[in-house]
Structure 1
């Protein structure tokens, strides 16, 4: 909301695409000359994979910002390859605004949400040996109060630090890397597993379109389990699963590799395109 108000204050015209997005977005891009795109990686993937979106539609776009969910570097590469425009990953939070923006498109920082914008402060609470801890922010863009149930921000966070619920680390140059949500962490015999980190590895395997990793309980132990959506034309088989496991073991620690893989037709998503992590079931179907 803070970002939208800023755009309007600067005299910008905001074009909102209606559902179904695969129909309304191409129409909007053809009818209007856009200068800034502000969407989630889900929407940018839609543009990459659909023939209804052409490079000519984006000739006037100066910047394409990806926010609201983690951007896979491979997705950014695919978008730039098709449209000739880099994706700028940002850290957007309703209660905070847009505190971070990544203007460095080098491979080493492709997974970062960027550095702090002027006026903001960041701290990592209770960092582990790897530097990963809870991300907290404060600055001029924070909300004043929650509407329902009503509560003043100053009463909830007297020192001004907003607990984002995100886990992350900051490198030596001040770039923030998000590792996942604190509530999504899988605790395997005391060792932390970040689902997003495992998903990023799975999604790089040829034939995998996307994945969701979650914790499953077995004999009192929580272990990682993965659901995968295959690319069209790819078929799930014991040989495919074994190759996928070898790929995971080559990159991840043994305890991070999912104990089971399940091929599903689709993953449940929120209205904004985020993968649901509240236990919602996936659309199970035979993968061809």
Structure 2
């Protein structure tokens, strides 16, 4: 994509990101200077909540939490869908000096309880769960307090605390002793088991992340978005919610507390949204539905789109840009970096390079070889990140902390390279590499090639055990449902033939199975553990092999 000529002209009034110190003063400037401006749009009636009202709700909940016996530095769980209750509980907890740990409300009871116990929360704040989610259970000995916000008139919050926290046994065996009053959040990595790592983030980490997200996209009071991603992970929490509120914009919370493709564009128009951020899976869904959902419909005034949490297929990116008339910017980050570490720039501020995850956003980034030496431009190595957004380690897990953190640097486990201009190109994960007779193969790279085959919507590549080579390359492929009527969809041999012209012989999948769908994590990335359980079989008579 060409850079507009204006990109070389210095803006006489450069953008300034919001000056905040963390979660506690996130709303302050706007509650004072723009108290009547809409902060949230929430509920089935799309009620509008001003910055003044949101500030008052958070203050009321903070007072109630303090009166219930909680002290600064105490950890509390937060279990809620993307509702106004989540936002108020989060900000109220921060005002009370608490360390808030959002947890996926859809987790089965034992797994949810396991995470809360591992942290050692003193209480759990409960908001509405997403429709269809199981009833929330937090286990014995943990006080569960329900928060309800009434939007039928002037917004009011009721927190039913029951017995004071001081009268309820705390889970002292957890990792709470490692927290300090500087901590704001504990986020759980996107693990598929109870052993997800706990990442403590200070108010300083939060402030640095929010400022860099705002700066990357020049977010301001004129911007609005719809909350697509869940707030219990960094993508939705930092990029959509906190950065928008810090910049004085507005966030629409979907009526059911979760993304709905059917209601999405109505929500976007209701908010007059100028941008949104999502995982590639959501972008694929929106693209497939575009012909129907956007027919004769007014588009909101989009400035840009954003994709993060997993690699986005380049063909999907360009198709969405053509369909929606706005640039789609890729970003890269992780829980340990309080979400964003790199991002593509707005078009007026630099070139958009195909396949790039952008340049560092407020962090130092280096790519190192197996000996710990910097790789030259274009040479693949492991990505390391350092900066004010970075967590200090993992709670209750000194072994993983020692492995992942060194002298303030975090080794991401991601493979990539930097070009001469400092743009990052990701190529895979170290732990995902397939070893076929000594040849190292990136499944992500093979997936990207397969996804470019006409008629292929999505692909998952994995290692298949093999007595001769150790591992062979397997693939599960979802074919596109958006092909023209009567079009012949490719079979496995056609896909292999397509790959042979674009991959080294040892990289071409030995087996391809056609499937109706692939499993994904809650963040929208491919669930590789589930894929391996389903398809990585040594049996040559693999069921479903085509």
1:36-78 deviations in Å (ceiling 9; x for gaps): 2111111111111112246955432212111100011111111
Q: Match for 1:12 among 241, 244, 249? A: 249
CA RMSD of aligned residues (A): 3.2
In structure 2, how many angstroms separate the alpha carbons of the residues matched to 1:214 and 1:156?
A: 24
User: Is the Cα contact below 8 Å between 1:102 and 1:113 reproduced in 2?
Assistant: yes
Residue 163 of structure 1: how far off its partner (Å) = 1.4
Q: 2:463 is matched with which residue?
A: 215
In structure 2, how many angstroms separate the alpha carbons of the residues matched to 1:223 and 1:107?
A: 38
In structure 1, how many angstroms separate the alpha carbons of the residues matched to 2:525 and 2:448?
A: 15
Q: 1:205 is matched with which residue?
A: 453
In structure 2, how many angstroms separate the alpha carbons of the residues matched to 1:145 and 1:152?
A: 8
Q: 1:116 is matched with which residue?
A: 360
Alignment of 1:1-288 (within 5 A): 2-3=209-210, 4=238, 5-17=242-254, 18-19=257-258, 21-50=260-289, 51-53=292-294, 58-96=299-337, 97-103=339-345, 109-117=353-361, 119-126=362-369, 131-144=379-392, 146=394, 157-219=405-467, 221-232=470-481, 240-278=491-529, 279-281=532-534
User: Is the Cα contact below 8 Å between 1:227 and 1:262 reproduced in 2?
Assistant: yes
Report the secondary structure of 1:89's partner residue.
Answer: strand
Say which is worse superposed, 46-55 or 242-251, in terms of deviation: 46-55
User: Is the Cα contact below 8 Å between 2:394 and 2:401 reproduced in 1?
Assistant: yes
Say which is worse superposed, 254-263 or 85-94, in terms of deviation: 85-94
User: Is the Cα contact below 8 Å between 2:492 and 2:513 reproduced in 1?
Assistant: no
Change in 2 beyond 3 A, CA 1:116/1:83: same
User: Is the Cα contact below 8 Å between 1:186 and 1:193 reproduced in 2?
Assistant: yes
1:214-249 deviations in Å (ceiling 9; x for gaps): 001011511110111112366667xx3322211101
User: Is the Cα contact below 8 Å between 2:281 and 2:524 reproduced in 1?
Assistant: yes
Say which is worse superposed, 45-54 or 1-10, in terms of deviation: 1-10
In structure 2, how many angstroms separate the alpha carbons of the residues matched to 1:37 and 1:60?
A: 11
Residue 272 of structure 1: how far off its partner (Å) = 2.1
User: Is the Cα contact below 8 Å between 2:269 and 2:300 reproduced in 1?
Assistant: no
1:233-281 deviations in Å (ceiling 9; x for gaps): 66667xx332221110100000000001100111011122211101343
**Unmatched runs of 5 consecutive residues or more in structure 1:** none
User: Is the Cα contact below 8 Å between 2:367 and 2:417 reproduced in 1?
Assistant: yes
Q: 2:5 is matched with which residue?
A: none
Report the secondary structure of 1:281's partner residue.
Answer: helix
User: Is the Cα contact below 8 Å between 1:143 and 1:153 reproduced in 2?
Assistant: no
In structure 2, how many angstroms separate the alpha carbons of the residues matched to 1:27 and 1:135?
A: 40
User: Is the Cα contact below 8 Å between 1:180 and 1:196 reproduced in 2?
Assistant: yes
User: Is the Cα contact below 8 Å between 1:104 and 1:110 reproduced in 2?
Assistant: no
Change in 2 beyond 3 A, CA 1:24/1:95: farther
Aligned residues: 283
User: Is the Cα contact below 8 Å between 1:55 and 1:83 reproduced in 2?
Assistant: no
User: Is the Cα contact below 8 Å between 1:124 and 1:136 reproduced in 2?
Assistant: yes
Residue 204 of structure 1: how far off its partner (Å) = 1.0
What TM-score results when the alignment is normalised by the length of structure 1? Answer: 0.86
User: Is the Cα contact below 8 Å between 1:144 and 1:152 reproduced in 2?
Assistant: no
What TM-score results when the alignment is normalised by the length of structure 2? Answer: 0.47
In structure 2, how many angstroms separate the alpha carbons of the residues matched to 1:264 and 1:126?
A: 37
Report the secondary structure of 1:7's partner residue.
Answer: helix
Say which is worse superposed, 167-176 or 144-153, in terms of deviation: 144-153
In structure 1, how many angstroms separate the alpha carbons of the residues matched to 2:357 and 2:502?
A: 23
User: Is the Cα contact below 8 Å between 1:154 and 1:160 reproduced in 2?
Assistant: no
